Structure 1
Amino acid sequence: MPEGMIVKALAGFYYVLAEDRLYQCRARGIFKKRGIAPLVGDRVIFTPVGGQEGVVEEVLARSVELVRPPIANVDQAVLVFSVREPVFNRRLLDRMLVLIEKAGIEAALVLTKIDLLDTLEKIDNEIRPYREIGYPVYRVSSKQGTGLEEVRSLINGKISVLAGQSGVGKSSLLNALYPSLDLKMGEVSQKLGRGRHTTRHVELIAVDSNSFIADTPGFSQLDFGHMEPEELDSYFREISQLSKDCYYRECQHETEHDCAVLKARQEGVLDELRYQHYLEFLHEVRDSKEGRY
């Protein structure tokens, strides 16, 4: 039986790409009984039926898995945020980074619509903490063509998932990078201050022979599921590094004695907003845990 990759899941069908041919497949009922849901990005074994249809027989082991967006086996997450319309949202960025770090996926940040800014000083100050802890940051204007070559190099030869809230310009970015895609673009609702959903499902798009991009439905809410409070600090890179010098092994960096994170905060070494988001998420994880019991 041939092996392929699921590039789209829609209305109960799984579209499997194998040797440049696309098969519309159903999954065996055994998957549902076992609680297994095939995901976009999954490598699968399938049985062709006729010329263009098939049945998914087996889902192969995943290297990584994201819950939202639901996708597997990606090489990197490209987090797309606009600097305006909607404004740059650091709380949402930090939430996304926590989940990306938990999944063990490399992340890069792409800031769109920089042509709407009179000066880059403010946004440069906001993104400096992310550059300092190792996240690549790209500034682009799809309208003016600024920064596109750098982002194209980032994507080349990889399976990338683009994620970000509605209206930040993911589809506009993809159209600017690869005009032949001709993706539908939405407009930001001026009245509501948020974007309309234009991408309705997760789909891997082949932009060349060895590069795939998953354009995903926009979102603005992400929860931490069954995360434990003790693990949260490991998903903040700078806090994880500092915590190695904490006196207590399971220090949670609030009021503990000889906490290296609190010391770094007092000395101005730790970005204050990142730390405040850590505390906010920590309390949320604790409340969620209490609600599970």
Structure 2
Amino acid sequence: MPRGTGYDEYDHERFDRPRRRTRPRTKDRPSYDDAVDGVVVTVDRGRLTCLVEGRPVMAMKSRPLGRKGVVVGDHVRIVGDVSGAEGSLARIVEVDERRTVLRRTADDDDPVERVIVANADQLVVVAALADPEPRPRLIDRALVAAYDAGLDPLLCMTKADLADPETLLTIYRPLGVPHVVTQRGDDLAEVRARLAGKVSVLIGHSGVGKSTLVNALVPGSDRAIGHVNAVTGRGRHTSTSALMLPLPRYDDGGGWIVDTPGIRSFGLAHVQPGQLIGAFPDLEELTDECPRGCTHGEGEPECGLDDAIADGRTDVDRVQSFRRLLASRERAEDD
């Protein structure tokens, strides 16, 4: 045994440990020439279900993507086992640039944005006319998110057999928000026509009949249906994750719907109030003479919208409706 050590020449502790990163580093990256195209239809605890040539494929995000999130609606490139066989697992290696991104935050002070869905065309705000009562403030905030994301809004009023839709329509008619009215067992031809050929995201708080609507539009989807609590007047959450479903291809050309979990608030920390006017071109052109820093809200001095109302260039109800949306960005949702 060598003097001054506790090891003999054959002891493994005597030899140097292998160094980390012994493999030479390279700037070359895989080309993924064999990758196939897919679209993410649901995300569950890190596992993503994608549709590849019409078949579901289970996949996980590859390490080179780092912290880049992958959400429902993303168009992705996939390698590995894309057979869709039970137990198979592929890898998502690339995420295409998103056309649109619908976001929300937990509340208006939350700096963390949560992407709800990517590459959607339309936001369908589902609101019950009764049981539970409609919540215009939540609808307002959902509309703000739609305008900010560049999505077309659609107000879908359910349970018309329980209440007259005109009361709610008077609030949103000045904004020009398109709408459909439904009730249980009703013909959904008008709804299908509004959804045809588009990727539509359905949102609404629990109990408004969103899952019932999805089950009627996509037979066999079997989305769980909740019930409204007789004491609180609120529904319980039944959908736990967003799910993208293909609409049956009737004469209207099909389309996709994304069913989302019921929401109780819609944070808008990511929305800049000054950009909301851009969703209303007719009002925006009336603000050219506004002073610097004008938010176009209620009480702003020398706002061009007030001048336009005074000389009859615009309708007062439309301006007030726009300002209500603007105020909803600056006011927390009242639960």
TM range (shorter): 0.7 to 0.9
Q: Any residues of structure 2 matched to 1:50-199 within 5 Å, and which? A: 51-52=83-84, 53-68=89-104, 70-117=116-163, 120=164, 123-141=165-183, 143-146=184-187, 148-199=188-239
| Structure 2 partner of 1:270 | 317
1:247 equivalent in alignment to 2:295: no
Distance 1:241 1:204 in 2: 35
* Structure-2-length-normalised TM-score: 0.74
RMSD: 2.5
| Structure 2 CA distance for partners of 1:219 and 1:238, relative to 1, 3 Å | farther
User: Offset at 1:233?
Assistant: 3.6
Distance 1:116 1:264 in 2: 40
**Partner amino acid for 2:237?**
H
| Structure 1 partner of 2:41 | 7
Q: Is the 8 A contact 1:233 1:239 kept in 2?
A: no
Superposed CA deviations along residues 191-231 of structure 1, whole A, max 9, x for unmatched, are 22111001110110122354211100010211122333433
**Partner amino acid for 2:291?**
Y
Distance 1:14 1:280 in 2: 34
- More helix, by proportion: 1
Q: Is the 8 A contact 1:43 1:60 kept in 2?
A: yes
Q: Is the 8 A contact 1:3 1:45 kept in 2?
A: yes
User: Offset at 1:154?
Assistant: 1.2
**Partner amino acid for 2:323?**
Y
| Structure 1 partner of 2:269 | 225
Q: Secondary structure of the residue that 1:167 maps to in structure 2? A: coil
Q: Secondary structure of the residue that 2:220 maps to in structure 1? A: helix
Distance 1:85 1:169 in 2: 10
Distance 1:20 1:192 in 2: 42
- More strand, by proportion: 1
Pair member with larger Rg: 2
Unaligned runs of 5+ residues in structure 1 are: 285-293
User: Offset at 1:108?
Assistant: 0.6
Unaligned runs of 5+ residues in structure 2 are: 1-34, 105-114
Distance 1:2 1:109 in 2: 36
| Structure 2 partner of 1:289 | none
**Partner amino acid for 1:67?**
R
User: Offset at 1:129?
Assistant: 4.6
User: Offset at 1:280?
Assistant: 4.8
User: Offset at 1:282?
Assistant: 3.6
**Partner amino acid for 1:72?**
A
| Structure 2 partner of 1:45 | 77
1:208 to 234, 245, 248: 248
Distance 1:93 1:58 in 2: 35
1:279 equivalent in alignment to 2:327: yes
Distance 1:151 1:260 in 2: 38
| Structure 2 CA distance for partners of 1:100 and 1:229, relative to 1, 3 Å | closer
Distance 2:269 2:326 in 1: 16
**Partner amino acid for 2:170?**
R
Q: Is the 8 A contact 1:74 1:159 kept in 2?
A: yes
Distance 2:80 2:272 in 1: 43
| Structure 1 partner of 2:25 | none
Q: Is the 8 A contact 2:215 2:221 kept in 1?
A: yes
Q: How many residues align?
A: 275
Q: Is the 8 A contact 2:196 2:255 kept in 1?
A: yes
User: Offset at 1:44?
Assistant: 0.5
| Structure 1 partner of 2:10 | none
Choose 205-214 or 262-271, whichever is displaced more.
262-271
| Structure 2 CA distance for partners of 1:261 and 1:86, relative to 1, 3 Å | farther
Distance 2:201 2:331 in 1: 29
Distance 1:132 1:197 in 2: 32
Distance 1:42 1:189 in 2: 35
Choose 244-253 or 48-57, whichever is displaced more.
244-253
| Structure 2 CA distance for partners of 1:44 and 1:274, relative to 1, 3 Å | same
User: Offset at 1:173?
Assistant: 1.1
| Structure 2 CA distance for partners of 1:244 and 1:144, relative to 1, 3 Å | same
| Structure 1 partner of 2:9 | none
**Partner amino acid for 1:56?**
I
| Structure 2 CA distance for partners of 1:39 and 1:280, relative to 1, 3 Å | closer
Q: Is the 8 A contact 1:243 1:251 kept in 2?
A: no
Q: Secondary structure of the residue that 2:161 maps to in structure 1? A: helix
User: Offset at 1:43?
Assistant: 0.6
Q: Secondary structure of the residue that 2:247 maps to in structure 1? A: strand
Q: Is the 8 A contact 2:174 2:321 kept in 1?
A: no
